[in-house]
Amino acid sequence: MIFVTVGTQLPFDRMIIEVDNFAKQTEQIIFGQIGNGKYIPQNFDYKRNLNIEEYDKVFNEASMIISHAGMGTIITALTQSKPIFLMPRKASLGEHRNEHQLATMRQFVSYKGCYSFDDSNSLHTLVTTQQKGKSEQLETFAPQKMIDNLKGLLR
Amino acid sequence: MASKKTIFAVASNGGHLIQLLRLKPAFPDIQTVYISTASHAPSLIQENRYLRVNDCNFDKKGQLIIAFFQLSKHFVKYRPSYIITTGAAPGLLAIFLGRLIGAKCIWIDSIANSEEFSFAGKIAKRLTPHWYSQWETVANKAGAKYMGSVL
């Protein structure tokens, strides 16, 4: 199963439309968390929002993740070694407050198993080549140096 | 650390909370109360160490005010000595309240802000000297501090 998510805050119809087109071309089962977007997917099941338990469950079951370039989803995918395909929100299209997701995307495409896509065709190619692949694995917690520095401040 | 001083670890649900939880080994369990906008405690946190506040952001003033009063109640009850937050709106409210009661307030801007501080982060600068970016370049440019990142 491939899990698609727009994150907790804002809808992202531009991505959901591309994923819906991709869903027509693939045998893969897709499940989406689509927020309060106007576009209703025709080719895959979805919920608008998931609580933490539902989110954890569907994330665990997924073999690949399609997401906006949100830090939370990226970190969660990489701690679970799941390949992730990113479409950054663009402030120029009114999709976020500023262009930080473009910067996030640029930063993470150097990680193994982390890719960006702009449309259903590029997504299809990526998913096909990444099947059964694994991403780089992140540790559960921050590096020890950061933890130690923070402990020092809480003294 | 002096014993029994309460730490409030605050973040809105989603990426901010995921970053905060990556810092968990720095927070002694018996002293720390986690506060977020998620309906339940995340799996790493015991339900009795978790407080929920209303989901809020800077586009919805009414939601912010509700969250502010909920947070105020928690501050009166626990009298935290330390506030640590990775943002966004609920974290800023917590820093504001923490400053009022003389708590040590630590702002760690989200790692998503790799080019400049977030909107909330820019306001936090005026509220606390413990003002951090997770990017050395951003910290240097803004006159903030740097102690590493959650990644």
Nearest CA in chain A to B134: A146
pLDDT at A67 > cutoff 90: yes
Is A146–B23 a contact, with Cβ atoms under 8 angstroms apart?
Answer: yes
Q: Are B87 and B121 in contact (CB under 8 A)?
A: yes
pTM over 0.90: yes
Q: What is the pLDDT of residues A76-110, one digit of tens each?
A: 999 999 999 999 999 999 999 888 999 999 999 99
pLDDT at B1 > cutoff 50: no
ipTM for the complex shown: 0.94
Q: Does B137 touch chain A (CB under 8 A)?
A: no
Q: Interface of chain A against chain B, CB under 8 Å?
A: 7-9, 51-53, 56, 70-73, 75-76, 97, 100-101, 103-104, 107, 138, 140-143, 145-151, 153-155
The CA distance from A148 to A143, in Å, is 9
CA distances from B142 to A72, B24, B51, B132, B139 (A): 24, 27, 32, 10, 5
Distance from CA of B105 to the nearest CA of A (A): 10
Q: What is the pLDDT of residues A12-38, one digit of tens each?
A: 999 999 999 999 999 999 999 999 999
Q: Which residues contact B149 (CB under 8 A, 6 or more apart)?
A: A142, A143, A146, B111, B134, B135
Percent of chain B at pLDDT > 70 equals 98
The CA distance from A39 to A60, in Å, is 26
Tokens 């996030």 identify what position?
A104
**Mean pLDDT of the A107-132 span:** 93
**Mean pLDDT of the B1-21 span:** 88
Is A154–B151 a contact, with Cβ atoms under 8 angstroms apart?
Answer: no
Residue A150 has its nearest CB partner, among B26, B42, B151, at: B26
Q: Does B138 touch chain A (CB under 8 A)?
A: no
Q: Token pair of B131, please?
A: 């003002």
Nearest CA in chain A to B17: A72
**Mean pLDDT of the B62-84 span:** 97
